Amino acid sequence: MKKILLLDGFNLTFRAFYALPEFTNKEGIPTNALHGWLRTIWKIQDEEGPCDTAAFFDSGGSHKREQLLESYKENREEAPDALKTQIPYIQEMTAYMGISVHKEDGIEADDLIACAVEQLRDTYDEILIVSADKDLAQLISPGVNQLLPPPTAKPSLGWRKLDREGVEEKFGVTPEQIPDYLALIGDTADNIPGIQGVGPKTATNWLRRYKNLDGIQDNCARLNPKRFQTVIYQSKELLKNYLELTTLETHHPLDPTPGQTSPDLNALCELLTKMDMNNSVTAAQKRYG
């Protein structure tokens, strides 16, 4: 079976950074995220056996969403300097591992992953999105699944694969309804307010009955609890705006094609040596040599 992994770069990098204690090389450059990233990617590749792998990173946020909502993601704390220092090295190392690296100024990694899914769905038997981000669940479809990292609160659960049935069990809605669902309840991670008072249970009930935001608007006089009938009627433009924020973009062509690259063992070993990751040098030679 032909399979490709699509890695959510910053999502996995943050996890790698906080999963390990502080390490530095002889020059004082932090390396804990580098260690964690390398270990994580090799583990996933060994367990999933993909033909190809691609990694996607944010670069300058989302210009479109920042225009739609001035406070978009304003609640997020800035990444620690020790992590920011390691990002360029992680991207460099990733390319040397034979993993294509994709980033574009003003377009978020989630949108690049969505574009990759559209571009590659006829090329691979399975596309596996590796991320804990719930926004990406909207991309799940036949041949496209999400691989969730172990939850921080309960790491014993391990890595879990999320398919269409898993999305419905986890959120109570279908993958196609995830943008509508998030527009209604809001998304604290991205600082999207949603409609005040509308929680997951209410949003799920409405979407099961009326399918999408348009259906909910068309039937706002029938909504329960009744206190939301006027609220939803008056929130048409607001919900339209929120839906634009929660819907991933799929129209950006990606060049080069994700996953089509080869390892550079010499360059990888040179970088790992510079970072004093000597055990990883040996592992890389055995893996790629």
pLDDT attached to residue 62: 87
Question: What is the CATH number for 30?
Answer: 3.40.50.1010
Give me the mean pLDDT over the 262-287 stretch.
98
Computed over every residue of the chain, the mean pLDDT equals: 95
- In terms of domains, do 89 and 198 share one? no
- List Cα–Cα distances, 78 to 73, 82, 109, 184, in angstroms: 11, 11, 17, 27
Model confidence over 74-117: pLDDT tens digits?
A: 888 889 999 999 999 999 999 999 999 999 999 999 999 999 99
Q: Is the pLDDT of residue 20 over 90?
A: yes
Residue 77 belongs to some domain of the structure: yes
Q: Residue 265 and residue 268: Cα distance in Å, rounded?
A: 5
Q: How confident is the model at residue 34 (pLDDT cuts 50, 70, 90)?
A: very high
pLDDT attached to residue 225: 96
- In terms of domains, do 220 and 84 share one? no
Give me the mean pLDDT over the 13-24 stretch.
94
pLDDT attached to residue 144: 98
The angle that helices 9-19 and 109-120 make with each other, rounded to 10 degrees, is 130
- In terms of domains, do 239 and 258 share one? no
- In terms of domains, do 143 and 54 share one? yes
Give me the mean pLDDT over the 199-217 stretch.
98
Q: Is the peptide bond before 80 cis (omega within 30 degrees of 0)?
A: no
The range of the structural domain enclosing residue 28 comes to 3-163+249-288
Q: N- to C-terminal Cα distance for the chain?
A: 24
Least confident of 36-50, 52-66, 114-128, 213-227: 52-66
Smallest CA-to-CA distance from 97 within 166, 40, 144 is with 40
Answer for the pair 274, 281: CB distance below 8 angstroms, yes or no.
Answer: no
Question: What is the CATH number for 209?
Answer: 1.10.150.20
Residue 170 belongs to some domain of the structure: no
Which residues are CB-contacts of 165 (< 8 A; sequence separation ≥ 6)? none
Give me the mean pLDDT over the 165-179 stretch.
97
Q: Is the pLDDT of residue 196 over 90?
A: yes
Q: How confident is the model at residue 68 (pLDDT cuts 50, 70, 90)?
A: confident
Residue 236 belongs to some domain of the structure: yes
